[in-house]
Structure 1
Amino acid sequence: MSTAAPMPESATKYARVMLKISGEALMGDRAYGLNPQTVARIAQEVKSVHDLGVEICMVIGGGNIFRGLAGSAQGMERTTADYMGMLATVMNALAMQSALEQIGIYTRVISAIPMDQVCEPYIRRRAVRHLEKKRVVIFAAGTGNPYFTTDTAATLRANEMGCAAVFKGTKVDGVYDRDPKKFPDAKRYDRVSYDEALEKHLGVMDATAIALARDNHLPIIVFSLDEPGGFRGILAGQGTYTTVDAKG
């Protein structure tokens, strides 16, 4: 839980943001599934930003439960594998909803695949209205289509919701020219252009997501979700992160 000093609402220029995290981020030190303590910690990070008055959208991957590409690589039909991956994202979204509501943050899970008993179907105007009412909105089941990742879903929904930026929480503090865990001399970028990220395969997001962000002038900010108070600090321009935009 963050112990950062209170920050005035005017300290952030972002009125509405998209937070994209991987399913693996919810595992903590486990090899599979959900770690309740980790989910609760991330929920507190989200609350600290919500308390500033920022409207928050979220997209969570499903790799901690099932990854479509992995299933396809093992011989499963790709479309079926991708739909299974989408269902995994719904499970993660429901877990995050529960954690947020336990700390007093009203939350709605909106699924691209209709399943009315557990979450709302995706209707853009309804989702925007939830945000205007200061509810956290978690978009689940990707885009509802196979062959598209949750990175693409996050960029798509961010554009539809009119978000100021996509914040991608990872295990490293930005974008590097190579894996910093394997190469101690890896160079971190403070800022990189969309085109450079694509040309150098920097692994920010998949190519479709980056191209969609580029075409709609949507900045992508990559930061470490493991740093306590990191999400809140990055919104104020503090801490270490990489901005991916047109300027580079």
Structure 2
Amino acid sequence: MKFKRILLKLSGEALMGEQKYGIDPAVVNMIADQVKAIRELGVEVGLVIGGGNIFRGVAGATKGMDRTTADHMGMLATMINALALQDALEHKNVHTRTLSGLEMPKVAESYIRRRATRHLEKGRVVIFGAGTGNPYFSTDTAAALRGNEICAEVVMKATNVDGIYTADPKKDPTATRFDRICFQDVLEKGLRVMDASAIALCMENRLPILVFDMNKPGNLVAAVKGEPVGTLVS
């Protein structure tokens, strides 16, 4: 394996499938199958998931809701997704722990870095819910933060396109894909890979980001093996 410990970042929208909102059990099971496959190869997996399929804090704030309240609602949405994915993994006999950035002891363990690392060392998949536990920070930033804290070798950002393009390939047929790109170019070109704070945090700590299409079966396994999948930001 090229990578022995990864931080996988999933968007909440990825769980919707063809629905307009909510969770599609078939999609959750597909994701769980791919995570199980890399666990069986010995890869240690931390996972951060968004909540946009249920509620987006920024969207709520733009409609007049207090931003802090909206972000807390978004964090709770990520916990719903985290528990759904935990359940799917455990039904496939993959030992999983959900750690929350917000204290909710009857639902999940509170996030403690050493505890998370110990779970990974024991071969458990660790799902980090509730973002960073603070408003004004996206789940992209949470992925960058948790990835650095657990000493992951890469942040893998799962998307519905096969990498980073010069423009949106669904809108611009002339858009070209990058195989590799540096952090500075991502920021200067305004490429919407992750938000700027997440990119800056990874750049400062030299934590590479791999952007790839997880909807294609086998892509996650190929990525951890170091095969040319997606776009590497380093």
* TM superposition score normalised by structure 2: 0.99
Could you tell me which of 181, 205, 218 is aligned with 2:170?
181
Q: Deviations over 1:32-88 (max 9, x none)?
A: 000000000000010111110000000000000000000001110101000000000
Match of 2:118 in 1: 129
Match of 1:85 in 2: 74
Could you tell me which of 215, 218, 221 is aligned with 1:232?
221
Could you tell me which of 194, 198, 201 is aligned with 1:205?
194
Cα pair distance change 1:156/1:90, threshold 3 Å: same
- Give the whole-Å Cα distance in 2 for the aligned partners of 1:223 and 1:21: 11
Instruction: Give unpaired runs (5+ residues) of structure 2.
Output: none
Does the 8 Å contact 1:106/1:136 carry over to 2?
yes
Match of 1:107 in 2: 96
Match of 1:157 in 2: 146
Does the 8 Å contact 2:222/2:229 carry over to 1?
no
Match of 1:19 in 2: 8
Q: Partner letter of residue 127 of structure 2?
A: I
Could you tell me which of 167, 174, 178 is aligned with 2:156?
167
Does the 8 Å contact 1:58/1:137 carry over to 2?
yes
* TM superposition score normalised by structure 1: 0.93
- Give the whole-Å Cα distance in 2 for the aligned partners of 1:224 and 1:156: 22
Match of 1:40 in 2: 29
TM-superposed deviation, 1:18: 0.3
- Give the whole-Å Cα distance in 2 for the aligned partners of 1:104 and 1:239: 30
Q: How many residues align?
A: 234
Q: Partner letter of residue 48 of structure 1?
A: A
Does the 8 Å contact 1:230/1:239 carry over to 2?
no
Match of 1:3 in 2: none
Q: Partner letter of residue 162 of structure 1?
A: C
TM-superposed deviation, 1:184: 1.2
TM-superposed deviation, 1:240: 3.0
Q: Partner letter of residue 139 of structure 1?
A: F
Q: Are 2:169 and 1:192 aligned?
A: no
- Give the whole-Å Cα distance in 2 for the aligned partners of 1:237 and 1:153: 24
- Give the whole-Å Cα distance in 2 for the aligned partners of 1:187 and 1:237: 22
Instruction: Give unpaired runs (5+ residues) of structure 1.
Output: 1-11
- Give the whole-Å Cα distance in 1 for the aligned partners of 2:212 and 2:108: 29
Q: Partner letter of residue 29 of structure 1?
A: E
Could you tell me which of 109, 114, 117 is aligned with 2:106?
117
Q: Partner letter of residue 177 of structure 1?
A: T
TM-superposed deviation, 1:238: 2.3
Instruction: Please give the secondary structure, in 2, of the residue aligned with 1:138.
Output: strand
- Give the whole-Å Cα distance in 2 for the aligned partners of 1:211 and 1:162: 17
TM-superposed deviation, 1:239: 4.6
Q: Are 2:233 and 1:216 aligned?
A: no
Bigger mean CA offset, 231-240 vs 150-159: 231-240
Q: Deviations over 1:165-221 (max 9, x none)?
A: 000000000001110011111110000110100111111100000000000000000
- Give the whole-Å Cα distance in 2 for the aligned partners of 1:19 and 1:98: 17
Aligned-residue RMSD, C-alpha: 0.6
